[in-house]
Structure 1
């Protein structure tokens, strides 16, 4: 059994779903492991990770609009230290995932045909988000 880890950086221009599948796939390929389990963990409280539709941009837009409705910007939040998008970003992160587990089979992630890995940026301004990647396998 072997393991490897890395910090992957995703630069986001601002709010939205930003695909990072290729970057994660390169990490898996560089590991040389054929079988295993990949864990991804976003190291932020105002961003999250999703496995989502990667072919139809409308699916991403619909997700973004949905989260804007269920966790809207509002002056009613007590926590607004970094602006009006601060608390909604934390709520959206809490409602999604900060980590993902993906099987690796045949040296590749076992994603479905239309699945991609996305960093979901919940803040208006761009950031350099860090994702801890860990792969254990053979």
Structure 2
């Protein structure tokens, strides 16, 4: 019987620009290797105080729209109490309150059950960190 719980930590290069990075293929690959034919849950977690996980459409401009909306809600200026790092970096520490650092998704017969246009994405507005860690965990 396969393990009921399997986890993997991966490093994602995000560069020095704000980014919405599609993790869907990585999640699907993890499930093919660890949960073939099984039902359960995939938990995606970023252990960072300045990044989040979103389930959104990508490739049609929604990822850029998300970054634009975050700029409107969380401007990169000097209003923030948290002041180390790049100018406006304090807003990056507020990001996880709006884009949580985790998502739990259904897995049916070893496949991620997303809607037609949904993708699992890492949202990173912190330009001071060029790479992020993502923990993928399957429970089933």
Gaps of 5+ in 2: none
Listed as ranges, the matches of 1:41-120 within 5 Å are: 41-56=45-60, 58-120=61-123
Query: Is the 8 Å Cα contact of residues 35 and 138 (structure 2) preserved in structure 1?
Result: no
Q: In structure 2, what is the Cα distance between the partners aligned to 1:97 and 1:79?
A: 19
- Give the distance between the partners of 2:35 and 2:45, measured in 1 at CA: 21
Structure 1 regions of 5+ residues with no counterpart? none
- Length, aligned pairs only: 136
Q: Please, what is the CA RMSD of the aligned residues?
A: 1.5
- Pairwise CA distance, 1:74: 1.5
* In 1: Cα distance, 2:59 partner to 2:89 partner: 30
Higher strand share: 1
Q: Is 1:40 the equivalent of 2:41?
A: no
Give the Cα separation in 1 of the matches to 2:79 and 2:88: 12
Change (3 A) 1:76 1:55: closer
How far apart are the structure 2 equivalents of 1:48 and 1:98? 4
**TM-score for both structures, normalised by structure 2:** 0.90
Whether 1:16 aligns to 2:19 is yes
In 2: Cα distance, 1:126 partner to 1:43 partner: 13
Please give the TM-score of this superposition, normalised by the length of structure 1.
0.91
